[in-house]
């Protein structure tokens, strides 16, 4: 297993619960939507924290690149957290247009972010962190969430 394999798989898991939340809210099923959204927001936060507290610092100390790609990814995490907060407000207000529009925006933001990570940053991390135990610590965090 490569260092970033658990994060790669976790992207797909987040996609699935995102789709559940979006579908429920667009059908007006706010109870199921709130449950799926809470699960999605929790999983996404765990994912971000696993990267920001474990993967990125390890990559930065291994390569000395502290203001490069990881900084860009942290910035995009901030943007996605803001979008999540907007979705939560729309959910509380039962504003299906607001929820759907922000969900759509978050989806595209999240997908292009994931592709950058999967195609570029994760391979860089795998080559810089091969032979370390970072992958296992990340997997444990994700499983525990």
Partner 1 sequence: MHPSLSFEQAPPISVPYRFFLVAPWFGVLAGLLLAWSGGDVLASRWSPDTLALVHLIAVGFMLQAMSGAMFQFIPVAVGGNVWRSLWVANAIQPLLILGALLLVAGFHFSAPVLLSAAVPALLAGVGIFVGVVLLALWRTPATGMTLWTMRIAVAGLAVTVLLGALLAEALARGLDLPIIELTNVHLAWGLGGWALMLVAAVSYFVVPMFQLTNPYPLWFARWFGPLLLVMLLLWSGLWFRDDLRPAQAFGVPVSLLCVAFASMTLRLQYTRRRKINDATSLNFRVAMIALLVFAISGTAMAIDPTISDDPRAAVWLGMLVFPGVFVSTISGMMYKIIPFLNWLHLQRLGAPISAVPNMKKMIPGDSMTAQFRLHVLAVLLLLAAVWLPSLAEVAGLVFSASCAWLAWNLTLAMRSYRRFRDQIRASVLRC
Please report, as ranges, the residues that interact with partner 1 according to CB under 8 A. 15-16, 18-19, 22-23, 26, 68-69, 72-73, 79, 82-83, 85-86, 97-98, 100-102, 104-105, 107-108, 111-112, 115-116, 119-121, 124
Distance of alpha carbon 53 from alpha carbon 75, whole angstroms: 14
Which residue lies nearer to partner 1 by CB, 15 or 137?
15
**Taking the complex as a whole, how short is the minimal distance between the CB of residue 44 and partner 1, in angstroms?**
15
Which residue lies nearer to partner 1 by CB, 57 or 98?
98
Closest CA to 34 of 80, 87, 86, 108: 87
**Taking the complex as a whole, how short is the minimal distance between the CB of residue 105 and partner 1, in angstroms?**
5
Look at phi and psi of residue 2 and say left if phi exceeds 0, alpha if psi is from -120 to 50, else beta: beta
* DSSP codes joined into one string, 72-102: HHHHHHHHHHHHHHHHHHHHHTT-HHHHHHH
**Taking the complex as a whole, how short is the minimal distance between the CB of residue 66 and partner 1, in angstroms?**
12
């Amino acid at each position: 297993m490569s260092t970033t394999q658990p994060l790669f798989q976790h992207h797909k898991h987040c996609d699935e619960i995102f789709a559940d939340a979006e579908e429920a809210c667009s059908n007006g099923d706010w109870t199921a939507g709130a449950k799926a959204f809470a699960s999605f927001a929790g999983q996404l936060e765990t994912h971000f924290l696993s990267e920001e507290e474990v993967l990125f610092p390890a990559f930065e100390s291994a390569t000395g690149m502290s203001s490069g790609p990881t900084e860009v990814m942290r910035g995009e995490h901030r943007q996605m957290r803001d979008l999540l907060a907007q979705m939560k407000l729309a959910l509380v207000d039962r504003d299906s247009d607001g929820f759907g529009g922000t969900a759509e925006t978050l989806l595209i933001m999240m997908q292009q972010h994931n592709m950058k990570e999967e195609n570029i940053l994760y391979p860089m991390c795998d080559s810089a962190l091969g032979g370390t135990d970072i992958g296992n610590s990340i997997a444990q965090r994700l499983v525990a969430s």
